[in-house]
Amino acid sequence: MESSHIIKGLYAITPDETDTEKLLHQIELIHSGGCRLLQYRNKKLALSALIDQAEQVKELCNRLNMTLIINDNVDICCNLDADGVHLGENDDTIETAREKLGADKIVGLSCYNSIERVKLAIEKKIDYVALGAFFPTQTKPNASQVSLEFLSQVKTMCPLPVVAIGGITINNASILIRHKVDAIAVINGLFGTQNMTDMTTNFTKLFV
């Protein structure tokens, strides 16, 4: 899939929210602020509840015309006919994801601070790579830190869209954008704010 026009700007990632109605309302709020790219991620729910919540998120994204990426789970992505899947270090292989989803779905790969994983992504024709954490993050407090020098190195060698993740807020996002990231992935810096619509607008303006 040609993902360069899809994986850009603000890339919202859902928090571990067990209240589905609250989550759906939050997604509507960020959509109102201009967000069009969403990753569904929830590490708290049991599988049956996760599937149910994912189905409702997918229905909403269909109505709002938002691109939906499923975190980790290729089968859920396949069953929902979501737009793509994001794979981490311990998830299904790239080959499995492509075999199940086909060539038309987006497959993203967490590369953390590993040049070898970036090279693998390029070799396997992944649709985008995610680097991070760039800043301390509540979501993964033990995540390895990634430097701006590493980001510049990846941008020089990698033809794929590059997503920055990890502790990104409205106060530190600009430096990543100046280093030419294609998208910034935000969880708490968006979903943990008082006015999510205004915050979304502020993030999207950074890319203008």
124 is annotated as an active-site residue: no
With respect to residue 194, please indicate whether it lies within any of the assigned structural domains. yes
205 assigned to active site = no
Phi/psi region, residue 194 (left: phi>0; alpha: psi -120 to 50; beta: rest), is alpha
pLDDT at 138: 79
Percent residues over pLDDT 70 in the chain = 99
Domain presence at residue 83 = yes
Catalytic residue, chosen from 8, 36, 105, 110, is 110
**Residue 43 included in any domain:** yes
Residue 4 has a pLDDT of 64
Percent residues over pLDDT 90 in the chain = 90
Residues 6+ apart with CB under 8 A from 48: none
Residue 3 domain flag = no
The catalytic position among 98, 100, 140, 155 is 140
Largest CA distance in the chain: 43
Query: Is residue 51 in a domain?
Result: yes
Q: Among this protein's residues, is 110 annotated catalytic?
A: yes
Q: Which domain holds residue 128?
A: 9-205
What is the spatial distance between Cα 62 and Cα 6, in angstroms, rounded to a whole number?
15
User: Residue 24 falls within a domain, yes or no?
Assistant: yes
3-state secondary structure of 40: strand
Contact predicate 162/151, CB 8 Å = yes
CA distances from 169 to 47, 59, 187 (A): 30, 28, 9
Q: Please, what is the average pLDDT of the chain?
A: 95
From 8, 36, 41, 58, active-site residue: 41
Answer whether residue 31 is part of any domain: yes
Domain count along the chain: 1
Residue 56 pLDDT greater than 60, yes or no: yes
In angstroms, rounded to a whole number, what is the distance separating the alpha carbons of residues 172 and 156?
22
CATH of the domain at 117: 3.20.20.70
Domain assignment present for 1: no
